[in-house]
Amino acid sequence: MNEMDELTSFFIHVIEVLEEVGISYMVVGGYAALFYGEPRMTLDVDIVVDMSAVHVPQFVAAFPESGYYVSEEAILDSLARCYPFNVIESRTAAKVDLVPLPQDVFTRMAFTRRQRVEYVAGHSATFIAPEDAIVAKLVAHKNTGSDKHLRDAQGMLRVQGDRLNMTLVRRASRASEVLDVLERITEAGSIGRNDSTAKVE
């Protein structure tokens, strides 16, 4: 089993635990970009979780010390400070980062638009919508300067094509102050031209 297969197997388990415990979530980041966009290697799994302290004991119990590293104390501290925590599978070192639901308007709106998708045969999970995944990658590029995020955004634009609601993408991009970057990459690749004259409201 290669690294990606190991990560997927671990990811399936984490999703199952979140759903068994009753924690609302959405898959974001590189894993979402890979699902919606062009194939590439990623060991980047980020999941936004609407999690509270009451969920923590049952969540931690699902990852026994014999096979996983997870700290109840660290999770409680992360929830209080609103910063990410992780769960690591000891045998493979596969890691999933969980991000307490941020308070910014864009992420809150994206959380309401999340959607259920089948990401591998027989397994489904709740992912960020592709339109929001594109905007999130543009924001990540703005904040980090990394071209990896631009490539991910371009890949999703190309693969999703006419299925995208480009009016929503442009509106969210403008609100997040990345509309100029979106227009630059769509014009460079003639992406999203099916609705390029739509008014951004």
The CATH architecture of the domain made up of 3-127 is 2-Layer Sandwich (3.30)
Please report the pLDDT score of residue 1 as a whole number.
Answer: 62
Retrieve residue 199's tokens.
Answer: 């008014």
Task: Give 36-74 as a 3 state SS string.
Answer: HCCCCCCCCCEEEEECCHHHHHHHHHCCCCCCEECCHHH
pTM, two decimal places: 0.89
3-class state of residue 137 by DSSP: helix
Please report the pLDDT score of residue 188 as a whole number.
Answer: 73
What's the CA gap between 10 and 87, in Å, rounded?
10
Query: Would you give the distance in Å from CA 187 to the centre of its chain?
Result: 25
pLDDT block averages, 10 residues each, the chain of length 201:
81 97 97 91 87 97 95 96 95 93 94 96 96 97 94 96 96 97 83 42 34
What's the CA gap between 174 and 40, in Å, rounded?
28
What's the CA gap between 23 and 50, in Å, rounded?
6
| Radius of gyration over every alpha carbon of the chain, rounded to an integer in angstroms | 17
Q: Please report, for the chain, the start and end positions of each structural domain, with discontinuous segments joined by +.
A: 3-127, 130-195
